[in-house]
């Protein structure tokens, strides 16, 4: 019988890219659930992919049943957008923490392998130049800065999972994504600020001819990781050759792609000008600054720098990221140029039919 992977949130950014990679590069079966399937495209007709539309908090029996049947479980349903942490912190707690705790307990009870998304945000404002899975301190702001509810929720889940590993030899891997980027990270057609992470937000601003706004001047840095690199690492974690990933925590990131938000804005505007369909829009995009309190409100607190140590991930999994930031931006814009032209074609077809 082939290996069975259960992906909760299969239509998400990581879920959809991972499902595509598994079906392309492995002979496993994938079971998936999500609220919709718009990022999955033709994958839903693949006979090795069984997908249902649904909410994991409502379809509890489906989830339980499939955890029982699966070999590896990836619960990827979560709110992972800082604008939402400050806008609806309790929703973040209910979904990211409470709903996922139930899934974790099912995996423990059925003794199933869990591959759980921790977060690079977990390190918070840690002073370390490179954030290390085993030695970096996790540093958060006061309770009145509600941004930290996400990191705090994830931290407690990491600690719960780790404790099950120690007490029950529970088989898990925790992975920490460092600003994964690529097509379909968020909805680029949604022009409203706050609905996207910075990478999609800036592309969306260029596309909609809106000014790019650098929060507090944009000196803060992130290490951006192209989704294909990230998914390649996840495949190795699921492979788990000789148990190399069991009861381990791995940063997944690209320290070579550490860049300030300001430099990212300029690089995106410059790269977008290479594409005839986007060049005029990019040339006229202005870049301004906005205080964080105006952009996110009073409950926000930023992280000034976030660089992963990937020493352990590279050593243990034999993995290394390959896409530099400009290549990642190019590939993403190429994707949207293609989908914009497909959209235009189908609009013309529809008009002709009408």
Give CA angle at 345 (184, 205), nearest 5°. Answer: 40
Minimum distance between the CB of residue 253 and ligand UDP, rounded to whole angstroms?
11
**295 contacts 215 by C-beta, under 8 angstroms:** yes
List, in sequence order, every residue forming a beta bridge with 51; answer none if it has no partner: 32
- Length, in residues, of the chain: 354
- Binding segment for ligand UDP among 62-70, 216-224, 310-318, 325-333 (CB under 6 A)? 216-224
Which residues fall within 8 angstroms of residue 222, CB to CB, at 6 or more apart? Answer: 178, 179, 198, 258, 259, 261, 264, 306
Pick out residues in 242-271 that bind ligand UDP (CB under 6 A): 261
Rule CB under 6 A: choose which of 39, 176, 222, 236 binds ligand UDP. Answer: 222
CA atoms of 156 and 122, how far apart (whole Å)? 10
Q: Are 334 and 273 in contact (CB under 8 A)?
A: no
- Least distance from C-beta 273 to ligand UDP, angstroms? 20
Does position 281 interact with ligand UDP (CB under 6 A)? The reply is no
Min dist CB 131 to ligand UDP, Å, is 13
Strand locations in the chain, DSSP E? 4-8, 29-34, 49-53, 72-75, 113-117, 172-177, 180-181, 212-215, 221-223, 225-226, 248-252, 258-260, 287-290
C-alpha span between 312 and 223 (Å, rounded): 17
- Asked if residues 32 and 87 have their Cβ atoms less than 8 Å apart, the reply is no
Considering the complex, what minimum distance in angstroms separates the CB of residue 257 from ligand UDP?
13
Q: Which is nearer to ligand UDP, 104 or 215 (CB)?
A: 215
Residue choice 218, 253, 255, 321 for contact with ligand UDP (CB under 6 A):
218
Asked if residue 198 binds ligand UDP (CB under 6 A), the reply is: yes
- Which SS3 state, helix, strand or coil, does residue 63 take? helix
Query: How many residues contact ligand UDP, by CB under 6 A?
Result: 16
Contacts (CB under 6 A) with ligand UDP, residues 155-184: 179
Q: Shortest approach of ligand UDP to residue 134 CB, angstroms?
A: 22
What is the footprint of ligand UDP within residues 95-134 (CB under 6 A)? Answer: 121
223 binds ligand UDP (CB under 6 A): no
The Cα angle at residue 335 between residues 330 and 340, in degrees rounded to 5? 125
Tokens, residue 315: 């050593």
Of the candidates 210, 205, 310, 328, the residue with the CA atom closest to the CA atom of residue 259: 328
Q: Give CA–CA dist 200/212, Å, rounded.
A: 11
Segment lying near ligand UDP (by CB under 6 A), choices 18-26, 86-94, 207-215, 236-244 = 207-215
Structure tokens, 337 = 């140029």
x/- map, 297-326, ligand UDP, by CB under 6 A: -----xx-----------------------
Binder to ligand UDP among 104, 214, 258, 268 (CB under 6 A)?
A: 214
Among 11, 118, 201, 313, binds ligand UDP (CB under 6 A): 201
Give the binding range for ligand UDP (CB under 6 A) out of 10-18, 194-202, 274-282, 325-333: 194-202
In the complex, the residues that contact ligand UDP under the rule CB under 6 A are: 82, 121, 179, 193, 197-198, 201, 213-215, 218, 220, 222, 261, 302-303
């Amino acid at each position: 019988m082939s290996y069975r992977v259960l992906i909760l949130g299969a239509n998400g950014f990581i879920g959809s890219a991972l499902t595509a990679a598994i079906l392309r590069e492995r002979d496993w079966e994938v079971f998936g659930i999500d609220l919709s399937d718009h990022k999955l495209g033709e994958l839903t007709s693949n006979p090795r992919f069984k997908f249902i539309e649904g909410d994991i908090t409502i379809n509890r029996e489906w989830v339980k049943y499939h955890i029982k049947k699966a070999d590896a479980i990836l619960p990827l349903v979560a709110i992972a957008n800082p604008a939402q942490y400050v806008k609806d912190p309790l929703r973040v707690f209910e979904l990211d923490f409470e709903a996922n705790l139930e899934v974790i307990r099912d995996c423990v009870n059925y003794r199933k392998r869990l591959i759980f998304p921790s977060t690079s945000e977990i390190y918070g404002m840690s002073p370390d130049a490179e954030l290390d899975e085993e030695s970096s301190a996790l540093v958060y702001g006061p309770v009145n800065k509600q941004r930290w509810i996400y990191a705090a929720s994830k931290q407690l889940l990491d600690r719960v999972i780790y404790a099950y590993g120690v007490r029950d030899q529970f088989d898990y891997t925790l992975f920490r994504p460092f600003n994964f980027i690529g097509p379909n990270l968020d909805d680029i057609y949604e022009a409203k600020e706050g609905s996207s992470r910075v990478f999609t937000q800036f592309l969306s601003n260029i596309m909609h001819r809106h000014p790019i706004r650098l929060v507090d001047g944009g000196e803060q840095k992130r290490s951006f990781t192209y989704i294909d690199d990230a998914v390649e690492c996840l495949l190795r974690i699921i492979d788990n050759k000789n148990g190399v990933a069991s009861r381990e925590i791995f940063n997944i990131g690209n320290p070579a792609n550490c860049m300030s938000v300001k430099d990212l804005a300029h690089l995106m505007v410059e790269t977008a000008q290479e594409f005839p369909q986007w060049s005029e829009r990019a040339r006229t995009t202005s870049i301004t600054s906005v205080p964080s309190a105006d952009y996110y409100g009073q409950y926000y607190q930023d992280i000034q720098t976030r660089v992963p140590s990937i020493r352990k991930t590279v050593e243990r999994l034999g993995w290394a990221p390959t896409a530099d930031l400009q290549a990642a931006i190019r590939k993403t814009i190429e994707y949207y140029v293609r989908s914009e032209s497909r959209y235009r074609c189908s609009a013309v077809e529809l008009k002709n039919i009408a």
